[in-house]
């Protein structure tokens, strides 16, 4: 089905089949609303409708035309549902026809979620160009690596040209410095041609601090709640119906007009909504209706700091219907197991015993007392599929929210990096990489902004210094507004062909190929996963995976000394699939293959080894 056959947005400017601009604006407290056409220096009046909506159908505004809104004869304001801000957040909005793009992905089918191997990237730092076109040039690299889905950090228009994306102020508008709407459509089309699904990170819990004009049009925010980033979005207070539709329409736009395959919804625990139907559930229900019309499948994955599977329970079972969630606890347990510091929320994790629980239970805290939170925390998630949990050894938050933005490549040894990668890929969950980790990128990923408000910039600088006041006393907090902080965060594409970086890249390729090739590792049925042994004193963990008579045993040694295992498992004829300590991977010890028993095998320090037995 063509996009033109599907319903258009009910927010902002949309062009009908005859080229007329259908304009919808929500401004419930205005007594007059006008459209200002920049090129004609002319005003057109909008007509008032019920519940604070204003409408206009006109041929005067054409695709490419720039415009503002004016309320009650006041100042010019960009469109809160703007699709294009070619001059940035303070300039005029530009009318574009999203449905005019000529898609070539008619044969594309979104893969089953269990087949997702996710690669998270930031458009501005992934390549030297810092654009969607730059990403497109690296798609063959990602395909060769074995990636099946890329996850793009937020692209909604923000102040300046440098930002992680979580300060977006025009949720419908694609950042102009990245390539704007057409650039994103072209990238998605190119990804689908290469067999790659596209996940887009969106932010529905707050709006950025600079250029946020939503409150000038209506009560988009509520004082009932607060968030760590500013005013809470009004999902359940007076006038919330229009606000809810605004964000529902946003989600549907990405699916319908950009052919996005999945949304990653940022920090949904900060979405405050006590309505009878939670906003996430309503978005899922509306997306289900769109799927019936388009025939395309769309997923929603949430970042959630609550161990509550209500969010990922299907709507038919009373849940919110999200298909998956990030599991930070797996990362925290893995990081502590690798010997990194137990500070802040990491102090809640007992290292390898927590990791063992994460492999089988997903949530580490599912009803235990959390010393860090000072309360009993979490609930069990035994009925949820493994494909509903996304795990990783690093991501943009866990790297970039460190004061200096150090990657794992700087924090642990080369051998430990291989072990961490293997620990993720043998899990019964969806694996995710953070850009550059596959070749041990050495450039840090730091926090950066390019706000134009000098006072705001100073507040951000002071906030970062205060946040890290007790750490790294001998080092300076990188200037978040400095261009060098952004430039130093870009990937170095010369590295994948060099020395240990190439070895690491080849190791990741082999890991991913093994994950795809063997049913016992592809299978995400959590009932087929067992921790055969966990030894906190030795730092060893033995994980068992099985499917259709195929068995894989994953032998992990997180200690800095060789450890001999004793394993009571009554099968024989084990073939080695992979050993990170082998010389092929710049290791120092070849593990034997085949072996009649794994008991008595000595595991090299900081290593992971996989053995298979087919009954």
Euclidean distance between CA atoms 544 and 82, whole angstroms: 51
Euclidean distance between CA atoms 251 and 270, whole angstroms: 18
169 is in an annotated binding site: no
Question: For residue 462, which phi and psi values (nearest 5 degrees)?
Answer: -65, -35
160 is in an annotated binding site: no
**First-to-last CA distance in the chain?**
47
Place of tokens 């210094």: 465
70 is in an annotated binding site: no
30 is in an annotated binding site: no
Euclidean distance between CA atoms 346 and 354, whole angstroms: 11
Euclidean distance between CA atoms 486 and 448, whole angstroms: 6
Euclidean distance between CA atoms 388 and 262, whole angstroms: 13
549 is in an annotated binding site: no
Nearest Cα to Cα of residue 259 among 178, 187, 166: 187
Q: Tell me, letter by letter, the H, E, C secondary structure of 285-317.
A: HHHHHHHHHHCCCCEEEECCCCCCCCCCCCHHH
397 is in an annotated binding site: yes
Residue 543: both structure tokens together:
């994980």
3-state secondary structure of 184: helix
3-state secondary structure of 230: strand
DSSP 575-597: EEEEETTSGGGT-S-PPPSSBS-
Catalytic residue chosen out of the listed positions 151, 266, 323, 415:
266
Is 87 among the catalytic positions?
A: no
Half-sphere exposure of 353 (CA within 13 A, CB side): 7
479 is in an annotated binding site: no
486 is in an annotated binding site: no
231 is in an annotated binding site: no
Euclidean distance between CA atoms 409 and 154, whole angstroms: 25
CA 42 from centre of chain: 42
Question: For residue 575, which phi and psi values (nearest 5 degrees)?
Answer: -105, 135
Is 303 among the catalytic positions?
A: yes
Question: For residue 407, which phi and psi values (nearest 5 degrees)?
Answer: -85, 170
CB–CB of 571/551 below 8 Å? yes
Query: Residue 114: how many CB atoms within 10 A of its CB?
Result: 16
401 is in an annotated binding site: yes
460 is in an annotated binding site: no
561 is in an annotated binding site: no
Catalytic residue chosen out of the listed positions 79, 97, 303, 385:
303
531 is in an annotated binding site: no
Question: For residue 89, which phi and psi values (nearest 5 degrees)?
Answer: -70, -20
396 is in an annotated binding site: yes
Nearest Cα to Cα of residue 479 among 445, 447, 442, 443: 447
308 is in an annotated binding site: no
Angle between helices 328-337 and 352-361 (to 10 degrees): 150
472 is in an annotated binding site: no
CB–CB of 372/347 below 8 Å? yes
49 is in an annotated binding site: no
Euclidean distance between CA atoms 432 and 117, whole angstroms: 6
Annotated binding site: 264-269, 328-332, 396-401
Annotated binding site for substrate: 264-269, 328-332, 396-401
Active site positions, annotated: 266, 303
């Amino acid at each position: 089905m063509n996009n033109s056959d599907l319903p258009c947005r009910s927010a902002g400017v949309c062009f009908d089949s005859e080229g007329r601009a259908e304009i919808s604006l929500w401004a419930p407290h205005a007594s007059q609303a006008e459209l200002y056409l920049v090129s004609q220096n002319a005003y057109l009046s909008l007509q008032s409708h019920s519940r604070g909506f204003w409408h206009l159908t006109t041929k005067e505004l054409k695709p490419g035309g720039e415009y503002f809104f004016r309320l009650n004869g006041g100042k010019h304001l960009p469109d809160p549902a703007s699709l294009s801000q070619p001059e940035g957040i303070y300039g005029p909005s530009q009318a574009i026809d999203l449905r005019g793009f000529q898609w070539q992905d008619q044969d594309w089918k979104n893969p089953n979620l269990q087949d997702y191997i996710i690669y998270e990237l930031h458009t501005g730092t992934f390549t030297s160009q810092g654009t969607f076109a730059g990403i497109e040039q690296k798609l063959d690299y990602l395909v060769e690596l074995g990636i099946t889905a890329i996850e793009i950090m937020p692209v909604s228009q923000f102040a300046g040209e440098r930002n992680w994306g979580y300060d977006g102020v025009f949720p419908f508008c694609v950042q102009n410095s990245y390539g704007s709407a057409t650039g994103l459509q072209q990238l998605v089309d190119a990804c689908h041609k290469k067999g790659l699904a596209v996940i887009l990170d969106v932010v529905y819990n707050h709006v950025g601090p600079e250029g946020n004009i939503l409150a000038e049009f209506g009560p988009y925010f509520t004082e009932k709640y607060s968030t760590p980033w500013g005013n809470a979005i009004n999902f359940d207070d007076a006038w919330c119906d229009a606000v809810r539709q605004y964000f529902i329409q946003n989600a549907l736009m990405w699916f319908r007009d950009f052919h996005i395959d999945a949304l990653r919804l940022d920090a949904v625990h900060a979405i405050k909504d006590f309505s009878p139907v939670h906003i996430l559930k309503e978005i899922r229900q509306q997306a289900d209706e769109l799927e019936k019309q388009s025939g395309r499948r769309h997923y929603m994955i949430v970042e959630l700091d609550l161990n509550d599977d209500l969010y990922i329970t299907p709507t038919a079972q009373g849940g919110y219907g999200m298909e998956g969630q990030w599991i930070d606890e797996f990362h925290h347990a893995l990081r502590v197991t690798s010997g990194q510091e137990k500070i802040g929320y990491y102090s809640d994790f007992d290292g390898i015993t927590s990791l063992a629980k994460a492999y089988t239970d997903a949530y580490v805290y599912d009803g235990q007392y959390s010393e860090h939170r000072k309360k009993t925390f979490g609930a069990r998630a035994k009925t949820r599929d493994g494909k509903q949990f996304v795990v990783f050894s690093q991501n943009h938050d866990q790297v970039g929210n460190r004061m200096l933005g150090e990657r794992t490549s700087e924090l642990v040894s080369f051998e430990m990096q291989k072990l961490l990668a293997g620990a993720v890929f043998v899990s019964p969950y969806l694996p995710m990489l953070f850009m550059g980790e596959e070749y041990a990128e050495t450039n840090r990923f730091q926090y950066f902004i390019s706000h134009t408000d000098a006072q705001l910039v100073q507040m951000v600088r002071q906030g970062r210094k205060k946040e890290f006041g007790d750490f790294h006393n001998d080092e300076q907090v990188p200037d978040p507004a400095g261009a060098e902080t952004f430039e130093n965060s870009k990937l170095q594409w010369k590295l994948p062909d060099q020395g240990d970086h190439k070895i690491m890249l080849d190791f990741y390729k082999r890991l991913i190929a093994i994950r795809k090739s063997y049913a016992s590792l592809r299978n995400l049925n959590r009932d087929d996963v067992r921790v055969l042994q966990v030894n906190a004193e030795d730092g060893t963990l033995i994980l068992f995976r099985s499917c259709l008579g195929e068995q894989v045993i994953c032998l992990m040694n997180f200690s800095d000394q060789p450890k001999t295992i004793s394993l009571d498992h009554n099968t024989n004829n084990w073939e080695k699939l992979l050993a990170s300590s082998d010389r092929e991977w710049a290791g120092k010890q070849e593990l034997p293959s085949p072996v009649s028993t794994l008991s008595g095998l000595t595991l090299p320090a900081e290593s992971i080894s996989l053995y298979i037995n087919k009954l």
